[in-house]
Structures are given as C-alpha cells and as structure tokens.
Structure 1
Amino acid sequence: MDTEGTSNCYIADRGGKSYSFTATIMGNGVDGIIDNGEFEDAMGNKLAKVTGADILPLSAKLLWQDTDELVEQVALVDNRVQVKMGRSRGNAVIAVYDNVNPNAVNAKILWSWHLWCTATPGLITYSASRYTGNEYKVMDRNLGATTATGGLGTTQGLSYQWGRKDPYSGSLSYDGKRTVLYDIRSAESEVEYSKNEPATIGQTISTPHICNMGTSDTYSWCKDNDLYMKYLWGNPTGTDKVFPQSTSKTIYDPCPVGYKVAPGDVFQVLAKTGWVWAHSNIAYYFYIKNGYSHGSSFYCDGTGADETKVIYLPEVYLPNWVAGDLSLSGKYWTSSLYGEKKAFTFTFTLQGSYMLPVNRRFADVGSVRCIKE
C-alpha cells in the first residue's frame, strides 16, 4: 500500500486480498512536519524534521470496522502491518502499540491508520480562476464513502474533527440510525464521545477512538495553544479571504497517499457571486445542477454550463457535541481557518446554502473532500 508513499489513509480497492504498509512511519513522515506548528507524537514529544517521524511498534490491532468481516486478520510482521481483507466495501481503523500484547491494560497506541476499501475514486478537474487561478483535481466522493451516487447512504463517508487525522462513523443509510461498528471477532465496537476537557494533540493520537467533543462552550478539541491549530492541516496562511497557491500535506492530514484536504476556494467557486452567508433560495446564488433528497450536485466550472464539471456533495449524518447524537448536515471542512479560532467551511442544506465559520468550533465534526497534491 505504501509503494507511492506513506499516509494516514490507504485505499484498498480490491476485496479479498492481503495488503501491508510500513508501521514505523507516522503519517507521511518528515515531509508532513511543520516545525513552527509544535507537532507532537502520541507520547507528547515534540516533532521536528531533524528528528524524524519514526516509531517502533510492537503489535497491531483492528480498532473498528463499519462492515462486519471487512478486515479478517491483522498482524505486525517485520515492522509492517499486514492485513487480510474480506470481500466487502467499507472502512476500518488499525492501530499499532508499544506493547507486544495490544490488549494489555498498559498498552498504548503509537499511531493509527484508516483503511478505505472502495473502488478507486474518480477525479473532477476544474479551475477556481474566478477567485485565485488555482487548478484542482477533486475526488468524486467524500473521504470514507464507498459510492459516489446521489441519494445512497454509502455516499456519506466518514466525519472528522478539524485538524485531526482519525475518522468517526455516522450512518450508512438515511434512516438516521448510527452505523454498527465491529471488532476483529465480529463483536460490536464503539467510538467514544468525550464531553470532558479538551485533549492535547498527543493524547488524541493515543486515543483515536475518542471524539473529544468538549462542552457547549468549548470551541476546540485541543487544549494546546490556539496559535498552533492553523498548522495542523497545512494551510497556516489560508483564511476565508486568502487562498494560497499551494498548501502542504501534514503528518495529521487524513487523506490517502497523493491527496490532501481541500482549501477554501475549492468550494467558493460553486457560488455565482462572492460570499453568500445565508439565503433560502440555494439555486439563485449557487450553480446547482440537480437537487436530491439528501444532497446537491453543483457545477464547478464557474459558469453553470459545463456538464463535465459537476461535483456531488451529499448531506451526511454527523455526530454532534451531544455525545452519540446524529444530525444531518452538508458541512465540509477546508484546510483554511476563519480568524484564529474558527474553522472555515462550506455548508449547505436543501433549504439554503451558505459559507460560514461553523460556530467557531474545532470540536465539531464534518466531511472531508480530498484533492490531488
């Protein structure tokens, strides 16, 4: 899986196969470290390019999978995670530990990876020239989605807290029922939702199965200095008004090899004019091709005419800050910030569409759409 590089997510495009990837490199390695960002490993040690991004795990384990028997076996052999896959489509999270027994009480997670078993995603190529001149190749589906067809629950994908690398499950259907998660023995597993104090970056790495939602008045999952948050997804100078020509893929980026989180102008080009903060008539202000019961397809050509430049964005059942609850939202993270303490997102509903800073909450969860590096 790591022939073309390492990452926090690997696409397994053929079921019933065996795969492997290196277990000794965190994310995309030293290339993903920004020294000014005060990055950390699972132990809380500061990361720097000169010291590298290596770990020495002693065991591996499946944390959860959203389809039973998607992952049949997991092992750590010669510093590589080896995975035997079933024939299903879906998502799984695998972790490596500092103990030869991953189930030991004192075993600590050193890193974790998302296995995304889907057909190879297609790409939509377009220019955000009305605003920046930047060219993008955008995935045809949400990160974690196993389909790209409008109206299907499997098009929703997984959700993420801004700046974190690990995914959380919502629903595989539009009935609002939470996805059942399984461990390697087909027993039901759970993602935990914490309403306690925010965690450090290192603590969230060692607890990828915990979504640190905070409280109703806590904006961030991270209790580290807010000045460092802007570095986590590699776009420290990007804002709602500034779109750099290039962004970097960090060690915490959740996208597969060769991809990174989309910056803000990827979505801004969907609007016919500048910012639209809220309006009841979505089609008047946005280039809508089709509206579905749970999502919309947008022209991304800047004119609303090119049938080959269309992107479908589904609404998704996301966990909200009330632990365990699900809410339907068309909330899409970008790597940009809105000010110093707000995440810049594209959010739409079938009743209206708008760009907004999502209540200033890094602790919220949203969907991710990857672009080619």
Structure 2
Amino acid sequence: MSYMKRFAGLVCAVAAIVFFASCSKDKESGSLSFNSPAVFLSAGQTVTVGFKSVNLQNLSVTNKPTGWAEPTIDVAAQTLTITAPATFDDDEVRTGSLVLAGTPKGGSSVSATLFVGVVESKDLSGKPANSYIVSKPDHNYLISAMHRGDIMAVLPASVDVVWQSKSGLIQYTELREDGKVSFYVGADSDDEKKIKEGNAVIGAYDAGGTLIWSWHIWAVNYDPEKTENQVVFNGYAMMNRNLGALANDNSTAEKILASYGLYYQWGRKDPFIGPSSYNAANGASASMYNGGGSRVYMKTEVSSAEAGTMDYAVRNPLTFIVGVSGSEYDWLWSAHSDDLWGDTKTVNDPCPYGWRVAPAAAFNDLSIVGAPAAGDADKFGWTLGENGNESLFIGAGRRIYRHTQENDTQGGGSIQNFYPTPIDKQVRSSALYNQPWVGYYWTTGTVAGTQSSAFYFWFDKADPANSGVQNNTPQRRANGMQVRCVKVE
C-alpha cells in the first residue's frame, strides 16, 4: 500500500512538472528600447522618435511630464510622436520622463524610459577643441565627433562618458547621425540659474569598442571671454583660474578644493582629476564615475615601448603613465618631442577653443604680492603680480612623475604637495612636508628635449624672507601639473 502511495505521489509530481513546463512554453520574453536616450524640443514642436519592440503587446504610455499631450503610438512603424506644450503654466514642467510599456504573452510588463525636454541647444561643433566650456544650465550641447585635434577619417561608432566628477553630471550622451555628439547638463540643485558644475571626459569609440579620441567637458559658471575673468601678464591675456577649476578662491577649505583644477602630463591633452580633500593629505584622487553612475578609477602604467606612446596615451585617458630612467622620466618612452605643446595651438593642446597653454614668457617677473608671513602658508595660495596686474594662484602641488622605487608600484601618479627642503635645514615630518605650499604650472617652454620648463612658486614657512617665484625651471615631463591658458593671438 505504501508503495502504491509513493508511486501515485511520483506520478503527480511528474505531471506537475510536465504541466509547469507546458505552461512556461506559453510565456514569452519581450524587450523594449528607444532609439535615442533623450529628445530635445522647442515649445510647441512635434517630433517622432523610433523605438524597438520585440514580442510585446498592449503598448501604452504609462507616464509623461505634467502638462504634456498624450503621445501617439504607431505600433506598425514603431514610432512615438511627441508634442511639447506651446506654453507652460505654473504646474507644468519643461522636462521629464516619458515611459512606454508593453507586455509579452503571459509575461510581466516591460518598459523603456525617454527623457523629453523643452530646452535650448548650443552647438559648439564650429569651435572644435580638445576641451569645451559649458556654462548654461538645462542645455543640450553639441560637439563635433569628427574633431580629433585634426579631422577624423571616419565617424566613430559610439560615444560614452569615460569619467565625470559627479554622477549624472553629463547625461543622455549620444552620437547623432550628423556626426555630432549630443549631451545634456542640468542645473545646480541649489540655484536653477546656474549650471551643475564639474569636469568630465567623453570618449569616442570605434566599432570594436576601442577608444580613439576623447574630449574634456568643463561645466562651470565662468566665462573666460569676459575681461574681468582674465589677467594680463607680460602682454598675454590669461584665464584667472586653472584649467578645470570651479573657483579661484582660498578663503575656505571648500573653495580651495574647487580651485585646484585638473592635472596634466606635459604634451598630453587629457586631464587627471584633482585630490579628494582640500589639503591632499593622503594623495588620493577625488571620486569619478562613468556614464552609468558606477565608480571608475585612475590607473598607472610604467612607460615602456608599448605603453609610452602617443597612441597608447590617446586610447587610455584614465591612465597616468609613470616615467622611469629608461624613458628619461618622460611619459613617452622614446618619441620625445618639444612640439606636443607650442606657441601656436597644437593637436594635443588641452585648452578650449581660442586658448592655448601659456608660454614661459607669460610668467616672467611675477612676484608674490605683499610680504608673506608664516601663517600665509595655511591659505594654500598666493596672489602673484606683474606690472600692477594680479591673480591668485593655488598651491596645488603635482602628481608624482615616478614610483618611489622603479621596481615597485608606490607613489607614481599620486598627488604630492610640498615645498623644497634644502639639505642643510631640518628634515620635516611627512605630515608637514606634504602640505600644499608649492604651485607647479606647466608652460609650453622646453629644455634639452626631455625636460620641460615649468613655472612654479613656493613658500617656505620656516624662512618666509627667502620665499619666491621661479620660472623656466626644468621639471620631468611625466609630472602631472596645473595649466593656465592664454588667448590665441
């Protein structure tokens, strides 16, 4: 009897499995996606956007911005026609999300989201460069995907955010059919009239997923074309803040951190992010994120015949190439060139359109304004002047050009802020020594092929009377240092 019960139970179990399998065959998976991540319209404009629906039925719009008309769905053509409001009342919004949903046979609902917005577009493709300043909030920006310092022979296959200093700073990045890169930057959360500030790098990729070029996006409430945002030194009109800086102010820790700007290896166009804290106490980098909001990290690679090339540097904008004795402490292994940055704007110049890296001559005869006192070191920067013209310079230190020992992986690429300690003076503790009391700024000047001239200043807290400013001082090219841009004449 017990055997028969067990047999009957087994039959029921098998029947249940067969029934479940039979039912599961009736279920289908489905997918839904828009052809573009966002649609930007003018008030009252109607546009049609494509979507791809696979194995879905009962398509409907389940969410739309307040005040917007119901979009029209063409299932056969797989298009959605959207009309923006011509005017906006107090409760109606200019931007928002539109959600399209459908269900596969016997399955759960599938949806896709499209950002729609009545926003202005600003086309920067007519002013190509390796760096773009964007300063208007809630704008759709366009840059040329064909610009690679020169003109690319072929259109890239895709674009994406390589890194950004804030998650969601650059949104809805897309390569358009007309060869332009489209992206959106929103407003500051505390002031809708100001852009959300930060730095980012957008990369262009070939069909195999290899990065072939990239562009720095400098989102900042700053217009260097205004004369009040410039300083004239030795006849050169110079930006009054560092390339990539969000401020030029040392009155608070927050403003000091915002004023550092970005770090560059001599001759490379791509920036490296600044420190995680205003005093750069541990040499660590600030946080970075990709287009999906996940953390990304700077890498280091030792210069070699494979890694110490311009092609490798272009394809790896997140990689700091550490100098070694075999490369003469250049990030380039052997193809040393004095022409990567020059007195005319070059293919690798990192400054925005109409600007270039400052020459050494721009820093001639600069001096610290006023008599530095011992406590001034804590201000992390000094006002420098020439012929009555003045600008604050932040003591941002540098990213170290080499590893502590060539056979280890320590030190290279980390941010180090220190002032020179003569060997005849007392050796200071590392905590004191690594304070940001030195400003290093690259120039276009070069010395003997493998070393670069760098303008720098320092402040010796122990001996303020001998503090000062130096120019045309050779520094290893693998160093990561600050850049000031001057107008192209």
TM range (shorter): 0.7 to 0.9
Kept in 2: contact 1:295–1:312 (CA 8 A): yes
Kept in 2: contact 1:194–1:214 (CA 8 A): no
Kept in 2: contact 1:93–1:113 (CA 8 A): yes
1:57 maps to 156
* Alignment of structure 1 residues 56-75 onto 2, 5 Å: 56-75=155-174
Q: Residue 468 of structure 2 is aligned with which of 322, 341, 353?
A: 353
Query: How far 1:3 moved relative to its partner?
Result: 5.1
Q: Tell me the distance in 1 between the aligned counterparts of 2:475 and 2:157.
A: 39
Kept in 1: contact 2:322–2:412 (CA 8 A): yes
2:263 maps to 159
Query: How far 1:317 moved relative to its partner?
Result: 5.0
1:221 maps to 331
Residue 369, structure 1, aligned to residue 464, structure 2: no
Q: Which moved more, 1:292-301 or 1:135-144?
A: 292-301
Q: Residue 210 of structure 1 is aligned with which of 316, 319, 324?
A: 319
Q: Residue 385 of structure 2 is aligned with which of 292, 299, 313?
A: 299
* Alignment of structure 1 residues 34-183 onto 2, 5 Å: 53-78=152-177, 79-87=179-187, 88-99=196-207, 106-122=208-224, 123-128=229-234, 135-151=235-251, 152=255, 153-171=257-275, 173-176=277-280, 177-183=284-290
Q: Tell me the distance in 1 between the aligned counterparts of 2:161 and 2:483.
A: 23
Percent identity over the alignment?
Answer: 28
Kept in 2: contact 1:154–1:172 (CA 8 A): no
1:45-73 residue CA offsets vs partner (Å, 9 max, x unmatched) = xxxxxxx6544201001000012221122
Aligned length: 305
Code of the residue aligned with 2:384 in structure 1: it is F
- Larger Rg: 1 or 2? 2
Q: Tell me the distance in 2 between the aligned counterparts of 1:216 and 1:90.
A: 36
**2:338 is paired with a residue of what secondary structure?**
helix
2:358 maps to 262
Code of the residue aligned with 2:230 in structure 1: it is I
Query: How far 1:196 moved relative to its partner?
Result: 4.5
1:276 maps to none
Query: How far 1:98 moved relative to its partner?
Result: 0.6
**1:60 is paired with a residue of what secondary structure?**
strand
Kept in 1: contact 2:321–2:478 (CA 8 A): yes
CA RMSD of aligned residues (A): 2.4
Normalised by the length of structure 2, the TM-score is 0.58
Q: Tell me the distance in 2 between the aligned counterparts of 1:188 and 1:146.
A: 21
Query: How far 1:178 moved relative to its partner?
Result: 2.4
Distance 1:164 1:209, change over 3 A: same
Which structure would you say has the larger RCO, counting Cα contacts within 8 Å and 6 or more residues apart?
Answer: 1
1:274 maps to none
Normalised by the length of structure 1, the TM-score is 0.76
1:326 maps to 415
2:425 maps to none
Kept in 1: contact 2:369–2:384 (CA 8 A): no
Q: Structure 1 regions of 5+ residues with no counterpart?
A: 30-51, 100-105, 129-134, 235-246, 272-281
Distance 1:225 1:14, change over 3 A: same
Q: Tell me the distance in 1 between the aligned counterparts of 2:321 and 2:310.
A: 11
Residue 314, structure 1, aligned to residue 394, structure 2: yes
Distance 1:207 1:97, change over 3 A: same
Structure with more of its chain in strand, by fraction = 2
Distance 1:137 1:55, change over 3 A: farther
Distance 1:58 1:359, change over 3 A: same
Distance 1:5 1:332, change over 3 A: same
Q: Tell me the distance in 1 between the aligned counterparts of 2:359 and 2:472.
A: 14
Q: Tell me the distance in 1 between the aligned counterparts of 2:325 and 2:371.
A: 32
Distance 1:252 1:204, change over 3 A: same
Q: Tell me the distance in 1 between the aligned counterparts of 2:126 and 2:144.
A: 12
1:287-345 residue CA offsets vs partner (Å, 9 max, x unmatched) = xxx876101111122xxxx3xx2111101153213235221241000011122211101
Q: Tell me the distance in 1 between the aligned counterparts of 2:459 and 2:127.
A: 39
Q: Tell me the distance in 1 between the aligned counterparts of 2:382 and 2:272.
A: 23
* Alignment of structure 1 residues 215-254 onto 2, 5 Å: 215=324, 218-226=328-336, 229-234=337-342, 247-254=343-350
Q: Tell me the distance in 2 between the aligned counterparts of 1:338 and 1:284.
A: 32
Q: Tell me the distance in 1 between the aligned counterparts of 2:451 and 2:346.
A: 19
Q: Structure 2 regions of 5+ residues with no counterpart?
A: 1-122, 188-195, 403-410, 418-437, 461-466
